[in-house]
Chain A
Amino acid sequence: MAITERVLVVGELVVDYTLGRNGAMCKLRLGGVAHAARGLWAAGVEYSVAVFCPQYLVGEATQYLAKLGCCEFIWLGDVVGAPNVIVIGDVTEVAHQGYEDLMRETKSLNLRDPLPSLDAYLKVVVFPGRFNINALVHAFSKDARFSFDVAYDLDDLSSLEAFRGRLQAVIISTSSSLFMKLGHEDVDGLLAAVRSLSPEVLLLKENRGGSRLFELCSGNVLEIPATLGRTVNSVGVGDVYSSVMVAHSQKGWVEAAWRGCQAATIYSQSTFPDDIKRDVQRGLLLSIDTLQVLGGTSLSWHERQKHSIYLAGPDFSYVEKRELDQAVESLTYHNFRVRRPILENGELERPATESALRRTFHLDCQLLRDCDVVFAIPLGRDPGTLVEIGMAIEMGKKVVTYDPRRENENTMVMVGSSVYSHDLDTCLNGTFNVVAELGRKNL
């Protein structure tokens, strides 16, 4: 077969089913590497796929991907014992996305025999799954160059040893368990592990905080900021980033990363492929210089821990406060350093003694002074939170107010807060912006 510059995307195809809750629409989509396929199609890139999927899905997936401009559909193997259906609870990733891979414990993959040839492709992007990537090594051209998005289904990087010296990019996300293992505390451990594989670059995707591109030969580190908008669906956004970036690598990694980021941002804001394609094509009209000038939010995973966020809200054991708990989970998931005065300084008995009241007041005030930002969640009749908001404003601290029950639509609260919304997604974006701004001021 003739050698081609088309990108080959390797991985699993699944069915994504988004539950219709929290304002999200129900959506049944082809998932897995289909997200990368949509991104490549939207960016006008020629590509093919080599996939593992259940036999029942082959016909429909082939037809669907042909509509997305897929040049060749290569079925590498069957998935048995599970339908390869993922049920998705939270599409906005304000916290854990709540993926449910149905019947995952009985799932297995059977490689086709003989294995289809993959030797026509020189640029390969692999999304590891439950398949043995080393079993595929000999199916590729010896001149092929590989990029791996190791966000999921990889416990360590040793399984990529067979590709040493043939790697273009290793890509990882802060959402992945492998990142939590290798780079949660410090990026150096992750860099050392990746460097041993000798890729050209490491891309670390840091969710709403943007991403960092490490050029391993030169030692250069490039920050690519995130453009924060309303997240419609975060599923597959990272895959779009990876595939579009690799597809543009011949333009240099800097431009490639910006283009990948652009496509991913647009992919997060719609689930309608024609809308995505229109907007990606528009975005590609902009020069890299313009994109850099317009900027966005850069706040690395590790930088987030350097700033303390005071949680103002009725964080009491006897209060129904699911929205507060969700907000804390969200901030913690994104590695913010949340200080919870009621947990740290103790919950007062009711009725409390005057000395206990005074002691707690002073401890809480001190904690408020020590923190950089206030994240306020006024719920119910909770004047303490409103006082804390006022004190923080007067101290010149940035306040993000999440008012899920819309009980405080008040001039002083709304205008005094840097961000005020009943929507957690908006408040989370606001927190990223406010903390990123603090980081810039401290430079």
Chain B
Amino acid sequence: MEEDTNAFYKANRYHMEGVMGSSGSGRFSDYPGTKAKEVVGDGAGVEGGTSGVDKCSQAFHVLLEDVGNSQFYSQFGTVPSPGTQLGINFDGRRVFAVDTNGVKVGALPTNCNYLVACMEDGVTYVGVVSSSATLPVPTLEADFAPQ
């Protein structure tokens, strides 16, 4: 009898506290105009219309491509040193990292092509060389953040 009472108590508690079905299945979880929040309980549900994350507003770290074929390397025979300020430019064909004089120092990988839409929407980025080397092959890593 005591066991039955406990079982009833537990079941009732689950309903009262919303634990049963608490993994995001209680209602449509993506109404526009609502902020993301985790659904209470032991599930892994998230609901909301917006995640609160905008990729255009996020800082990122990147290993540049084609550094050895870049304008900068061709002109100076070296790569920008750590701490050098950089910007981002889309030349109509590819997205490049440029120095403060607009000289291309390397290309961003194609997974950064989303930046073109961000920049078209008015976002600008500034960056800094985090590490670089000329040998054995010219390499350059940089950190960028939206302004």
Contact = CB atoms under 8 A, between A and B. Distances in A.
Interface stretch (A201-209, A278-286, A354-362): A278-286
Which 10 A-B pairs rank lowest in CB-CB distance, beginning with the nearest?
A: A26-B24, A20-B44, A274-B50, A26-B45, A26-B23, A274-B49, A282-B117, A285-B120, A272-B51, A25-B46
B117 A27 contact: no
B32 A274 contact: yes
Given A272-B51, A278-B54, A67 B31 contact: yes
Contacts of B49: 272-274
30 contacts: A20-B23, A20-B43, A26-B25, A26-B44, A26-B45, A26-B46, A27-B46, A28-B25, A28-B26, A28-B27, A29-B29, A30-B28, A41-B32, A67-B31, A67-B32, A272-B30, A272-B50, A273-B30, A273-B32, A274-B32, A275-B53, A278-B54, A279-B117, A282-B117, A285-B117, A286-B116, A286-B117, A293-B92, A294-B110, A295-B110
A418 interface: no
B22 to A, nearest CB: 9
A108 B133 CA distance: 67
A64 B27 CA distance: 11
B111 interface: yes
A28 B22 CA distance: 11
Interface in A67-85: 67-68
Contacts of B27: 28
Nearest to B44: A20
Given A273-B30, A274-B32, A278-B54, 16 more contacts: A25-B24, A25-B45, A26-B39, A27-B29, A27-B45, A27-B46, A67-B32, A227-B113, A229-B111, A229-B114, A270-B51, A271-B30, A272-B48, A272-B50, A275-B51, A293-B92
Contacts of B25: 17, 26, 28
Interface string A256-276: 000000000000001111110
Interface string B54-69: 1110000000000000
A320 to B, nearest CB: 26
A285 B121 contact: yes
A277 B49 CA distance: 10
* Interface of B, helix, strand, loop or mixed by DSSP: loop
A286 B28 contact: no
A60 interface: yes
Interface in B10-52: 23-33, 36, 39, 43-46, 48-51
Contacts of A295: 110
Interface of A: 17, 20, 25-30, 41, 60, 64, 67-68, 227, 229, 270-275, 277-279, 282-283, 285-286, 290, 293-296
Contact of A293 (B23, B44, B93, B120): B93
A281 B117 CA distance: 9
Contacts of B26: 28
A282 B28 contact: no
A68 B33 CA distance: 10
A272 B53 CA distance: 10
A220 to B, nearest CB: 24
Nearest to A23: B44
B95 to A, nearest CB: 9
Nearest to B22: A26
B56 A27 contact: no
A290 B116 contact: yes
A60 B28 contact: yes
B130 to A, nearest CB: 18
A28 B36 CA distance: 14
Q: Which of B32, B44, B56, B113 has the most CB of A within 10 A?
A: B32
A42 B70 CA distance: 38
A20 B43 CA distance: 8
Contacts of A290: 92, 116
B39 A294 contact: no
Q: Which of A20, A26, A273, A275 has the most CB of B within 10 A?
A: A26
B117 A283 contact: yes
Interface string B86-101: 0000001100000000
B126 interface: no
Contact of A27 (B24, B50, B110): B24
B118 interface: yes
B45 A274 contact: no
B118 to A, nearest CB: 7
B116 A294 contact: yes
Contacts of A227: 113
Contacts of A270: 51
Contacts of A286: 116-117, 120
A26 B31 CA distance: 15
Contacts of B114: 229
A275 B49 CA distance: 8
B79 to A, nearest CB: 19
Contacts of A17: 25
Contacts of B36: 272
Contacts of B116: 286, 290, 294
Contacts of A60: 28
A26 B92 contact: no
A274 B54 contact: no
Given A25-B45, A273-B49, A293-B93, A64 B31 contact: yes
